[in-house]
Amino acid sequence: MLQVTVLRESREEVKQKLAVKYFKQPELVDSIIALDDERKRIQAEFDQIKAKVNAASKDIGKLMGQGKKEEAEALKSEVAQLNPQLKPLEEKMTAVEKELHDTLVQLPNLPADIVPPGKTPEENVVVREGGAMPSLPEGALAHWDLAKKYNLIDFELGNKITGSGFPVYIGKGAKLQRSLIQFFLDTNTDAGYVEHIPPFVVNEDSAYGTGQLPDKEGQMYFVNEDNLYLIPTSEVPLTNIYRDVILKEEELPVKMTAYSPCFRREAGSYGKDVRGLNRLHQFEKVEIVQVVAREKSYEALDQMVAHVEALLNKLELPYRILRLCGGDMSFTSALTYDFEVYSAAQQRWLEVSSVSNFETYQANRLKCRYKDSNGKMQLAHTLNGSSLALPRIMACLLENHQQADGAIRIPQALQPYFRSETIG
């Protein structure tokens, strides 16, 4: 959530930055400032009347002690006329504050200065590419055919048990999934991230704190009876560990990692782009999250990008890193780098990670703060990244590492976990 002070101090600049994200209601900035003016006016009126009541009450006691009963009674009459004015002002203040908050949360985060212009994914900027493009043998299969051939994943069984988008991993498919999870977690903890196992459902305050509400409620699974949401990523419970927390600067950076299942409704998704593991309603992911001092967040972002890049190099996968344009960024992000891996069998790029800096946007909602070296209270900066999402990584591992004899080669970094060099 943006701070009203930022809107006041840089009204036109804020509108220009919102335009980079193709936000269609820049007039909300003016509405928010007007509502804040109204809030201040009501507060000043309330404080003025309250001050008169308090002062008169003290004087009444003094006058009564001095035996000046008539003067005391006159002040009592004045207080009796002032007191009824307070409650309507309180009610009006509550209503204005609610309207101010409800309007403020409609504004997305402001993009960083280096966010490129553009509205569609085609306008994202390729920062760099890495890894060698595979040369597949003749008759190479897509991952859904490989999964069926080696009995690794059963999509039809998942459809029977739950519905489309809920696959069942079997035998070596389950083992490969588990190997990837352990490999990611071990690499993350070696880099200083503290492993957590958070809850996989969260309350409304948590979903609000990281920006899923009110923007993405239609994409989350909701447990109606308990008013809880299934998490779309472990970013949500991890970041909320620091909701309403004041940290010391020396405690920063906070670095966390977690494995979790993730649940996304993906309403309206259909067609060839969602076949197999390309888009699921339930999938597994290992996440990294940082809470840092505000002046160090972009250094932390670069470190996280390098960390994810190293994972892809160890998996021997061809990848590219994209800096997202304003129109393709999330509601809450100030700057996002997407990682895409090339699927040789499908002949297209598949997104496998997003690494984002939210600056103070989440922290302001969460009230996640720290005291700097001067003792001044500051909003922290929060960051998160997929490290990594499993489905498309597995799809590309199966497809890109096909051998001429039909076997699937396991990358060397995974072999200690998988305890085999091949599938098939």
Question: pLDDT in tens for each of the 424 residues of the chain?
Answer: 999 999 999 999 999 999 999 999 999 999 999 999 999 999 999 999 999 988 888 888 888 888 888 888 888 888 898 999 999 999 999 999 999 999 999 999 999 999 999 999 999 999 999 999 999 999 999 999 999 999 999 999 999 999 999 999 999 999 999 999 999 999 999 999 999 999 999 999 999 999 999 877 788 999 999 999 999 999 999 999 999 999 999 999 999 999 999 999 975 555 556 789 999 999 999 999 999 999 999 999 999 999 999 999 999 999 999 999 999 999 999 999 999 999 999 999 999 999 999 999 999 999 999 999 999 999 999 999 999 999 999 999 999 999 999 999 999 999 999 999 999 9
* CATH number of the domain within which 54 lies: 1.10.287.40
For the annotated catalytic residues, the residue numbers are 264, 279, 351, 354, 392
Q: Same structural domain for residues 245 and 323?
A: yes
- Count how many domains the chain has: 2
Residues 390, 285: contact at Cβ < 8 Å?
A: yes
pTM over 0.85: yes
Annotated binding site for L-serine: 233, 264, 287, 384
* Cα four-point dihedral sign 112, 116, 117, 121: negative
Q: Same structural domain for residues 171 and 39?
A: no
Rounded to 10°, the helix 86-104/27-65 angle is 160
Structure tokens at 103: 């309007």
C-alpha distances (whole Å) from 193 to each of 109, 288, 302, 317, 346 are 26, 7, 15, 24, 34
Q: Same structural domain for residues 93 and 215?
A: no
Rounded to 10°, the helix 390-400/172-190 angle is 110
pLDDT of 274 = 78
Measured from the Cβ of residue 162, the count of other Cβ atoms closer than 10 Å reads 13
Structure tokens at 346: 């499908």
DSSP character for 290?
Answer: E
Q: Same structural domain for residues 263 and 233?
A: yes
Measured from the Cβ of residue 381, the count of other Cβ atoms closer than 10 Å reads 28
Q: Same structural domain for residues 282 and 145?
A: yes
What is the extent of the structural domain holding 282? 121-423
Q: Same structural domain for residues 199 and 228?
A: yes
Does residue 111 form part of some domain? no
Residues 313, 393: contact at Cβ < 8 Å?
A: no
Q: Same structural domain for residues 60 and 175?
A: no
pLDDT digits (tens, 9 = 90+) for 398-411: 999 999 999 999 99
Annotated binding site for ATP: 264-266, 351-354
Distance CA 145, CA 280 (A): 17
pLDDT digits (tens, 9 = 90+) for 89-112: 999 999 999 999 999 999 999 999
Rounded to 10°, the helix 27-65/11-20 angle is 140
Does residue 143 form part of some domain? yes
**For the purposes of burial, counting CB atoms within 10 Å of the CB of 176, is it exposed (0-12), middle (13-18) or buried (19 or more)?**
buried
Q: Same structural domain for residues 58 and 160?
A: no
Q: Same structural domain for residues 34 and 154?
A: no
Annotated binding site: 233, 264-266, 287, 351-354, 384
